[in-house]
Amino acid sequence: MITDPLLNPFRRIRRRTLRLEPTAAQLEQLFALVTEGRVPVPLTRRLRFDDAVAALAESRDGSARGKLAVALD
């Protein structure tokens, strides 16, 4: 958490640390807003479970511009 922002000058994408501790009620409210379409979730792409390692690598290297979804079934 401390070193991540210090590395920003050397990265293509800037990272910031944010720590949240939401309550169950807050998570339920957020889920309802997403389900209603009032809060958009930028989804870069969906991957099969077999590609989960590649998805993690893509997320870590900063090339994903939105969320990566991995299907479990």
> Over the stretch 16-72, which tens digit does the pLDDT of each residue have?
666 789 999 999 999 999 999 999 988 888 889 999 998 888 888 877 777 888 888
Single-letter amino acid code for the residue at 68 = L
**Residue-number span of the structural domain to which 67 is assigned:** 3-71
Domains: count for the chain: 1
Whole-prediction pTM = 0.46
Q: Which two tokens stand for residue 16?
A: 């910031």
Look at residue 67 and give its three-state secondary structure: strand
In the prediction, which pLDDT does 30 show? 94
Residues shown for the chain: 73
Q: Which two tokens stand for residue 22?
A: 């939401």
